Each structure stands twice: as structure tokens, then as C-alpha cells.
Amino acid sequence: MRQKTEKELAFLHDLYIATDWGERFAELVDKHVELPKEGRALYVEAGTGGHALALQERAGRKLTVICSDQNKECLELARAKAVALHEPTEFQHEDAGALSFTDDQYDLVLGNASLTLIGDLRGNLRELVRVAKRGGTVAWWLPTFSSFGEFFSIYWEALMSAGLDDHGVDVENMITALPTISDIEKWSAEAGLKGIASWTSIEEFDYESGEQFFKSPLITDFLLPNWLEPLPEASRDKVIAELAGIIDEEQHSGEFALTLKATLVLGKKSRVQ
């Protein structure tokens, strides 16, 4: 598979990720996160800005909203939207694991970890808490344990069919690496949050065939590269072909569904870092 450029990924994110995957998490945020009437808010990994701009419109001009993302091309699309909507929302390039902001700045910090690599989660959370004011709200969201179970089940089968049985342990590691709700609540407390609450929504993405599954930008360009990363590059196309065949075999019993456990965690910063 050819690796997409940042510009290509930004357009795919805007067209397919923000409008489907992102909306599943945005609904949780909109339902459970109370926006400050004034002050400063930070939205980390805001993508192409659609959700952040909707929050800005809802909050009004007394709340200053700063957004960051690691993809500079996403930020260009977000800035163009802000200009078109006459919103004052600011966008800047940041590494989610090493934010350039000073400590204790924001009344509200929102962290989109829905596509963050699992190994980066705790470090990124510490950064979200660090830049929040004492007593400020920190909310972050991500997939949790038992997400993508249907895929991991057939992934194992595809590896055996492709003669890559020794990589079965990698699939097991992916399954167990997804944090439980208890894990992320514990991490939040360790990072310095109190009054922690969480909500989970079970979401499904349906595919009619293996071809449709592998034509989905969500799968091919955003999720699959992480899932295939442990495999030898020369074997990946063979594994994809095996996966597509297994999905097509399963169509006799209906659509192939990919299940996501979308989880939002919220708390108040209890101490100055």
C-alpha cells in the first residue's frame, strides 16, 4: 500500500473520518462536556476543525478556542473553514505528546485520542492535564477494550492462511493493549484529575464485502497501517488478500461489522503540575 501524503490524508480526514468516525465521539463530547461561558479552551488533535468550530459557535466569542493538530495540512483546511464561518478560532501545529503551551493555561482542555497510537496515550494525557488550569476540565476520548474484535478474529485466521502463524502473538498484543475503562480512569487520576466520570457508546461500521472494507479510507489509511505494522512489508498484501477473502465468506451471514467502543473520560484538574 502506498503511504499517503499529509495533504492527501488531510482531505481524506475531512471527507470520511470527521464525518463518520469523528462524529461518533463528537456526540459524546457534545452531550457530556459543559463549555465554559468565557475563558480559554484548547482542543488537541482537532483534525480539520469541524467539531471545534461547532463548539466555538455554541460557546460564543467570550470563549477563546485554540486548536492544534500534528498534520499541518489539516490545519490549513481548518483555517479556511474558520475564515468562511467568520469564527475567531485559532489553529496551530503541535505535537500532542509535547505541547508548546505553558502550564495551567486553559479552563477546558479537549483531547482527541481516537486515532492515537496506544503507546502514546498516557504521555499525551499528561500533557492535556499539564496545560489545564487547576479546577479546569479535561476531557479526552478514545477506543477502549473489545473494540475491533471482529477484525482481530479474522486477522488471526488470515495470518495462519498466509503462513505467518508466528505473528499471532502480535494480534494478541493488539487486543490486550486496548485500555479498559478502568485503565483510563486510573490513568486520568494518576495524571492529576479528580471527579472522574466516563461514558461509552458502542458503534458499528458495516461493510458489504472485503473490497468495500479495504476501499474505506478509515480502514486503509488510518487503522490498517497500525494493525499491519508488525508484519514484514513483503507479506502485507498477501495478508490483506486473505482478510478480504475471509470477509467475503462471512457475507453469507450478512454484513461484516466492525465494532467500536467509543469512550469519553472527563475530570477536573486537582493540582498544579
Q: Do 161 and 95 have their domain in common?
A: no
Tally of structural domains, the chain: 2
Instruction: Give the mean pLDDT of 105-114.
Output: 98
* Grid cell locating 35: 463549555
Which CATH number characterizes residue 90's domain? Answer: 3.40.50.150
Q: Do 71 and 162 have their domain in common?
A: no
> Over the range 203-225, which residues count as b (16 or more CB within 10 Å of their CB) and which as e?
bebebeebeebbebbbbbbbbbe
Q: What is the mean pLDDT of the chain?
A: 94
pLDDT of amino acid 37 = 94
> How far are the Cα atoms of 44, 109, 110, 202 from residue 25, in angstroms, in the given order?
14, 15, 12, 11
Instruction: Give the domain extent around 152.
Output: 145-178+209-254
Q: Do 74 and 166 have their domain in common?
A: no
pLDDT of amino acid 255 = 77
Q: Do 220 and 271 have their domain in common?
A: no
The number of beta carbons lying within 10 Å of the beta carbon of residue 240 is 19
Type of residue at 209: S
Whole-structure pTM value: 0.95
Torsion of CA 262, 106, 185, 58, to 10 degrees: -30
Model confidence at 1: pLDDT above 80:
no
Exposure of 162 in the CB half-sphere (CA atoms within 13 A): 25
Rounded to the nearest angstrom, the gap between the alpha carbon of residue 131 and the centroid of all alpha carbons in its chain is: 20
Instruction: Give the mean pLDDT of 30-37.
Output: 97
Q: Do 36 and 152 have their domain in common?
A: no
Instruction: Give the mean pLDDT of 52-65.
Output: 97
| Nearest one of 162, 161, 12 to 73, comparing CA atoms | 12
Model confidence at 254: pLDDT above 90:
no
What distance in Å separates the CA atoms of residue 5 and residue 41, rounded to the nearest whole number? Answer: 30
pLDDT of amino acid 271 = 66
Q: 104: alpha, beta or left, given left = phi > 0 and alpha = psi -120 to 50? A: left
Instruction: Give the mean pLDDT of 109-127.
Output: 95
Q: Do 183 and 102 have their domain in common?
A: yes
What distance in Å separates the CA atoms of residue 164 and residue 239, rounded to the nearest whole number? Answer: 9
Q: Do 218 and 140 have their domain in common?
A: no
**Contact between 20 and 45 (Cβ < 8 Å):** no
pLDDT of amino acid 103 = 97
